[in-house]
Amino acid sequence: MYKPSSWLKFGLFSVGLGQSFAFVLVPPLARDLGLTVVETSLIFSISAVAWAVTSSSWGRVSDKYGRKNIAVIGLIGYSVSIIALITPLFLVERNLLDFVFLLPLLIFGRLINGLIGSATRPAAFAYIADISEKSKRTKKFARLESSFLVGTIMGPMIGGFLFLYSKPLPFYIFATCGFISALGIFYTFPKTTLLKEKAEDMLSKLSFKDKSVWPFLFIAALSSLCQASLLQSIGFFITDVFSDEKDLPLVISLTFVVLSLSTVVSQYIFTDIKPISNDKLLIYGTFLTLISYIIAALSTSIALFYLSMMINGLGTGMFRPANASSLSLAQSTDNQGKAAGYLGSVMPIGHVLTPIIAMPIYQLSPEYLYFFSAFLCFVSLLFIILHPILKNNEQASTIIN
């Protein structure tokens, strides 16, 4: 692994390991210790607010100080946050820490990820945009995204086995992977050749209100709310609806595996083996996720729910790299970091709104949440079909501010 891009992929893989296992384990563990569904969601939503506020800034800073420095800072922040997030849970479980401190400490641990861990993604995608040809950008972005998703697949699998040996062990190992990838990036990345004066000049060029930016952010925000509410509700939904299933933690973990694996397969097929234009990927991907939420809401068996997650993964695997690539192609080379930062700032919006919008809907009835997500996908689908910059991939790639 001598290439900087390989270390970036390993870094995102490491983030995927910890993030997915945290989503699998933290909600049920926190609820077992006495936190409510809304309080558990609050842990992730506050971090998401911090992520949304800081991500665009990290993208701008990466334009000025280089992708390497910002990616390293982000990975260190992620690694520290994983340790800070999980430690209070096990201290309270062993009666070494009073329960009253649990929620504030969990929020603090996750907040580190939102404030500092948010630096990695915009720096990574901006670097890939810097070194890739326009014709190959969707494929390059998909491969980078796949590295993260493979981590989300392996997280529950590896973490599940390590968890049987020692509950804190998987989190400390995943954090170590983040530290290792930070070192790899630090020692292999080339020194930036960007002049400070030029970087300062480009900071004011791009606004999130620009016509080449906001449409991609809008559909990303809708997708974010759907995805975040799904990730945060899977554990609760399976526990509440399929309570008769044996080994519920394993069933929940396998759900994340099915979701992530189908996303990786989708990206590999439709951006690499059989490439499809970005506009079609956006339409097909959104349509599939719409169908998946309807099936999930109507699921009467765990097998049917797994099918809905597989379809959801296929749709997400089409949508995410196509949206990121289309946004990148619509910008000049000087604005790649800032554009990636804007997209990164929108992606956590779902985690901000989930406890406010999604979880109250879930508490009315679990299936209502997935019908609501299907409605959001329908709105997004109409917007993609009707908006000029989204319905024409070539147009999206030529509009440069």
Per-residue pLDDT tens digits for 315-368:
998 998 888 888 878 777 667 777 777 887 787 788 778 878 888 999 899 999
Whether 201 is covered by a domain: the verdict is: no
Q: How many domains does the chain have?
A: 1
Secondary structure class of 197 (helix, strand, coil): helix
Q: How confident is the model at residue 240 (pLDDT cuts 50, 70, 90)?
A: confident
Instruction: Write the CA distances from 99 to 17, 214, 355, integer angstroms.
Output: 27, 43, 21
CA–CA distance, 26 with 6 (Å, rounded to integer): 30
With 90 as the cut, is the pLDDT of residue 77 above it? yes
Which residue range forms the structural domain that includes residue 56? 4-189+207-396
CA–CA distance, 322 with 141 (Å, rounded to integer): 8
Whether 271 is covered by a domain: the verdict is: yes
pTM of the predicted protein model: 0.73
Whether 291 is covered by a domain: the verdict is: yes
The confidence score (pLDDT) of residue 293 equals 97
The confidence score (pLDDT) of residue 378 equals 97
Whether 365 is covered by a domain: the verdict is: yes
With 60 as the cut, is the pLDDT of residue 42 above it? yes
The confidence score (pLDDT) of residue 368 equals 94
Q: How confident is the model at residue 195 (pLDDT cuts 50, 70, 90)?
A: very low
Whether 197 is covered by a domain: the verdict is: no
CA–CA distance, 114 with 127 (Å, rounded to integer): 21
Summary count for the chain: helices (H), strands (E) = 18, 0
199 against 74, higher pLDDT: 74
Report the CATH number that the domain containing residue 366 is assigned in CATH.
1.20.1250.20
The confidence score (pLDDT) of residue 392 equals 57
With 90 as the cut, is the pLDDT of residue 279 above it? no
Question: Chain-wide mean pLDDT for the chain?
Answer: 83
The confidence score (pLDDT) of residue 194 equals 47
With 70 as the cut, is the pLDDT of residue 396 above it? no
Q: How confident is the model at residue 198 (pLDDT cuts 50, 70, 90)?
A: very low
Whether 29 is covered by a domain: the verdict is: yes
With 80 as the cut, is the pLDDT of residue 7 above it? yes
- Closest residue by Cα to residue 175 from 119, 113, 114: 113
State mean pLDDT over 49-66. Answer: 82
